[in-house]
């Protein structure tokens, strides 16, 4: 299955961001801690060029903590600071302001040494759809400044938000890229709801997810559904249908409903903490 999805508003957003990047000091990139590589938009690297970057791995409460720690070490470098954060429960204002000051410290110190009073740091906030960007903006602004929804493509325009005397944020729409060269990337994005279901083959995605869970999180399956784990992902999904009594009148499992049930459990985090991508997956490619 080849997934391609690039609505017109994303093309406009990309052009706007290319202009706006000239006005900011740094970039705050939000990625999903469950898919730290797949939730990276490769266009962002081209866009921000050599700007300092803070990567926030969102939804920390939903990911595998050990895997998240490995990703933090892997992604951190001289110009990039990486933090995992729970946008709903952590003290996001304190964490983000402190991190931005740390990243911009050399420039701020240089201004002070020249007798220049540093202005507020200006940071562009970027991220693909459904990584939690609007939730973060609303939380730090302490009021609903952007619409949120558990679906992609909600934020459509750039807007400035003055956080405090130290930090100003430029919120941007969630932007995907035109084509996923790696099919797995499309699957991961589909699993977390970054792509609208209307363009997806849910049966393929469910089978992909089940195969990964059999290999890496078998106990999560047993704990939730109370079934024995076997190697065939399709038979596992069918067994879920039987356990949940998703049966047709001829006593056969309604496989389509079983797929939807399983996908729903994954997206509602009923299957426990999962980070779909591992650092080793990248280093072994």
Token code pair at residue 190? 């589909």
Q: From the centroid of its chain, how far is CA 37? A: 9
Which has the closest alpha carbon to 133: 77, 76, 183, 194? 194
Which has the closest alpha carbon to 97: 160, 161, 33, 168? 168
- Say yes or no to pLDDT of 195 above 80: no
DSSP states of 220-267 as a string?
A: HHHHHH-----S-HHHHHHHHHHHTT-B-TTS-B-HHHHHHHHHHHHH
Contact 50, 79 (CB under 8 A): yes
Question: Is residue 80 helix, strand or coil?
Answer: strand
- Say yes or no to pLDDT of 232 above 90: yes
Average pLDDT over residues 171-181: 68
**What whole-number distance in Å separates Cα of residue 229 and Cα of residue 177?**
36
* Angstrom distances, CA of residue 139 to CA of 30, 32, 89, 158: 15, 17, 10, 18
* All domains in the chain, ordered by first residue: 8-171 (3.40.50.300), 201-276 (1.10.1580.10)
Averaged pLDDT score across all residues of the chain? 85
Average pLDDT over residues 38-62: 89
pLDDT score recorded for residue 96: 94
Q: Which of 68-77, 102-111, 169-178 has the lowest mean pLDDT?
A: 169-178
Instruction: For residue range 64-89, list pLDDT tens digits in order.
Output: 999 999 999 999 999 999 999 999 99
- Say yes or no to pLDDT of 57 above 90: yes
Taking the C-alpha atoms of 267, 191, 278 and 45 in order, what is their torsion angle to the nearest 10 degrees? -120
Confidence of residue 156 (pLDDT cuts 50, 70, 90): very low
Confidence of residue 213 (pLDDT cuts 50, 70, 90): very high
Contact 184, 38 (CB under 8 A): yes
- Say yes or no to pLDDT of 6 above 70: no
**What whole-number distance in Å separates Cα of residue 121 and Cα of residue 111?**
12
Q: What is the CA radius of gyration of the chain?
A: 21
Phi, psi of 162 (to 5 degrees): -85, 110
* List of residues 6+ apart from 107 with CB closer than 8 A: 25
pLDDT score recorded for residue 153: 40
pLDDT score recorded for residue 178: 53
Instruction: For residue range 235-280, list pLDDT tens digits in order.
Output: 999 999 999 999 998 889 999 999 999 999 999 989 999 999 999 8
The full 3-state SS of 119-177, as one line of letters, equals CCEEEEEEECCCCCHHHHHHHHHCCCCCCCCCCCCCCCCCEEEEEECCEEEEECCCCCC
Confidence of residue 186 (pLDDT cuts 50, 70, 90): confident
**What whole-number distance in Å separates Cα of residue 84 and Cα of residue 70?**
11
- Say yes or no to pLDDT of 145 above 70: no
Average pLDDT over residues 153-173: 76
Find residue 55's DSSP bridge partners: 29, 82
Q: pTM of the full predicted structure?
A: 0.86
Confidence of residue 154 (pLDDT cuts 50, 70, 90): very low
């Amino acid at each position: 299955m080849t997934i391609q999805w690039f609505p017109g508003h994303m093309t406009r957003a990309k052009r706007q961001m290319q202009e706006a990047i000239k006005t900011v000091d740094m970039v705050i990139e939000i990625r999903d801690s469950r898919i730290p590589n797949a939730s990276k938009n490769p266009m962002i690297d081209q866009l921000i060029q050599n700007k300092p970057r803070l990567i926030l791995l969102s939804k920390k409460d939903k990911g595998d903590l050990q895997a998240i720690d490995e990703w933090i070490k892997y992604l951190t470098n001289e110009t990039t600071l990486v933090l995992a954060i729970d946008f709903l429960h952590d003290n996001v204002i304190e964490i983000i302001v402190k991190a931005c000051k740390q990243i911009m410290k050399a420039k701020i110190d240089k201004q002070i040494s020249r007798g220049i009073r540093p202005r507020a740091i200006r940071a562009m906030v970027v991220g693909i759809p459904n990584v939690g960007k609007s939730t973060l903006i609303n939380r730090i602004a302490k009021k609903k400044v952007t619409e949120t929804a558990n679906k992609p493509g909600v934020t459509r325009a750039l807007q400035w938000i003055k956080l405090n005397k130290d930090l100003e944020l430029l919120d941007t729409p969630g932007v995907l890229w035109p084509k996923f060269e790696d099919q797995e990337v499309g699957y991961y994005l589909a699993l977390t709801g970054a792509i609208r279901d209307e363009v997806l083959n849910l049966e393929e995605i469910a089978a992909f997810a089940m195969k990964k869970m059999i290999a890496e999180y078998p106990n999560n399956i047993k704990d939730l559904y109370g079934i024995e784990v076997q190697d065939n992902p399709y038979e596992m999904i069918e067994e879920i249908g039987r356990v949940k009594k998703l049966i047709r009148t001829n006593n056969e499992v309604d496989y389509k409903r079983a797929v939807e049930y399983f996908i729903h459990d994954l997206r509602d985090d009923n299957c426990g903490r999962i980070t779909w991508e591992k650092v080793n997956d990248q280093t072994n490619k």
